[in-house]
């Protein structure tokens, strides 16, 4: 990988090798537009094409059985940006009215801090620990909304998995998150680090059943048809055929 922040000291030589590799490659695949812009700045002569984030949507496409007011979050619990997202979510939910509950799937070294942040919301919040794929798919199927602010998220495959299960996503328009959520269609993206806007988005969508149902259907189709394995395979096949001699 290449990062401008590592372009100093002992890292500089390795960075040079990365740039040389980018320049020599017949094609460089970029998962996000943000990465593509960064690569072009680092190596203007590089040949770059987009291959958007994708998942195997099949395991998450069981018939949904959403439970009203059931919010779902699935994320690692580690210090830094992940903990920052958890803290932002706890702050936002504290202001969301009505009858709701949150299930959190995930674990990690910052679990104590995460649990402390949500303690004022007990018993509305359930910690499920790390789940395997079938258990996670079952959780998504029961969800009403998928909530995750996504601070500094590269893009977030969990958001695609949730959408494949029919869960609209509420996140922030930050980092690579816009690559996996269609704002206003499959979910809502609020301004970065704006707790009030995030709270308002949850409240507005959670208790607007027609809008939520429309987004749920759009999310399911987006994840399966536009970001599933078949779509990614077609895109990759086209790109590779274009560079054949």
Q: What pLDDT score was predicted for residue 245?
A: 62
Instruction: Decide if pLDDT at 94 tops 80.
Output: yes
Report the interhelical angle of 81-93 vs 111-118 (nearest 10°): 10
pLDDT, average across residues 144-148: 98
pLDDT for residue 3 is more than 90: no
Q: Give the per-residue pLDDT at 13.
A: 84
Mean pLDDT rounded to a whole number for the chain: 94
Give pLDDT, residue 6.
78
Give the per-residue SS3 of 156-224: CHHHHHHHHCCCCEEEECCCCHHHCCCECCCEEEECCCCHHHHHHHHHHHHCCHHHHHHHHHHHHHHHH
pLDDT tens by residue, 25-71: 999 999 999 899 989 998 999 999 999 999 999 999 999 899 999 99
**What is the pLDDT at residue 243?**
87
Residue 181 has pLDDT above 80, yes or no: yes
Mean pLDDT of 161-175: 97
Per-position DSSP letters for 36-66, written without gaps between them: HHHHHHH-TT--EEE-------GGG-SPP-P
pLDDT value of residue 7? 79
Strand pairing report for 125-129 and 101-105: parallel
- pLDDT above 80 for 2: no
- Please tell me whether residue 103 adopts helix, strand or coil conformation: strand
Q: Is the pLDDT of residue 244 over 70?
A: no
């Amino acid at each position: 990988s290449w990062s401008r922040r590592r372009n100093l000291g002992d890292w500089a030589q390795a960075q040079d090798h990365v740039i040389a590799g980018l320049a020599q490659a017949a094609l460089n695949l970029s998962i996000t537009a943000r990465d593509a812009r960064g690569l072009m700045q680092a190596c203007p002569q590089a040949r770059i094409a987009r291959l958007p984030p994708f998942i195997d949507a099949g395991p998450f496409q069981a018939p949904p059985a959403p439970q009203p007011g059931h919010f779902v979050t699935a994320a690692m619990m580690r210090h830094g940006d992940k903990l920052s997202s958890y803290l932002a979510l706890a702050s936002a939910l504290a202001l969301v009215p009505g009858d709701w509950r949150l299930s959190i799937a995930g674990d990690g070294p910052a679990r104590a801090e995460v649990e402390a942040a949500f303690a004022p919301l007990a018993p509305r919040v359930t910690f499920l620990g790390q789940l395997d794929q079938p258990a996670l798919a079952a959780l998504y199927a029961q969800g009403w909304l998928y909530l995750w602010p996504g601070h500094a998220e590269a893009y977030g495959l969990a958001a695609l998995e949730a959408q494949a299960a029919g869960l609209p996503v509420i996140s922030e328009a930050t980092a690579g998150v816009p690559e996996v959520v269609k704002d206003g269609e499959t979910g809502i993206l609020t301004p970065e680090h704006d707790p009030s806007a995030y709270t308002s988005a949850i409240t507005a969508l959670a208790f607007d059943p027609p809008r939520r149902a429309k987004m749920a259907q759009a999310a399911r189709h987006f994840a399966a048809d536009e970001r599933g394995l078949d779509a990614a395979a077609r895109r990759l096949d086209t790109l590779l055929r274009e560079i054949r001699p």
